[in-house]
Amino acid sequence: MRAKEKQVKAIKQLRGLKLKSSKMRLAAEKWDKPWKTLIAIAMSAQSRDETTIAIATNLFGKYPTLESLANASYEEVLLVLKSLNYNKTKASNIIACAKMLLGKYHGKVPLNFDELITLPGVGRKTANVFLSETGLDAIGIDTHAAYISKKLRWTKNKSPKKIEDDLKQLFPQSYWKQINPVLVRFGKTYTSRKKKDKVLEEISNIR
């Protein structure tokens, strides 16, 4: 199959994934400040979006400004995050990230990948999801994106960076920011691996 045909098929499959997915709020969405968006995404690593949204809402209610969060005590932040996976590391990183955003970036979240990944708790996936949420062209690769991409034969790789590169080669740039939200919603819609694989098999046959 030629590259253009593969691209057309992949776009149809992406649309198929979207149609088969439930509408739900993801942790990256609907925050009123960029710093809240970034921190909520970082908090969501290895945690359910529903859990993250509830805890982040409580966190931002207690610390409504970046300054208040930067000056928060580790023990108090940890208490808010107590039911979140990896809460100790995340509590430490959240405070350090807030301090760095204030000290180095004057309270503004940088819209540059290389700068974002220097922030505590911000890795490649978090940076890319944040950039795509702000409307920039980026692809965040998490467990959902990796699993579905391999099942649909968009990639043969296991490394998130290599999967990201493969998807950037496959999809037009205008589609990049859609990919993670669509794949995550699909992954969360089908909690049964058997059902998920069955639907993915149907979507893989889209021509």
Helix axes 34-43, 124-133, angle to 10 degrees: 140
Rounded to 5°, angle at Cα 46 from 31 and 123: 70
Structure tokens belonging to residue 149: 């991409």
Residues 44-70: tens digit of each pLDDT:
999 999 999 999 999 999 999 999 999
Structure tokens belonging to residue 139: 């692809």
pLDDT at 30: 97
pLDDT at 75: 98
Structure tokens belonging to residue 29: 């969405």
Average per-residue pLDDT in the chain?
A: 96
pLDDT at 65: 98
Does 1 score more than 80 pLDDT? no
Task: Tell me phi and psi for residue 3, to 5 degrees.
Answer: -55, -45
Q: Is residue 120 very low, low, confident or very high in pLDDT (cuts 50, 70, 90)? A: very high
Q: Give dist(CA 22, CA 50) in Å, integer.
A: 14
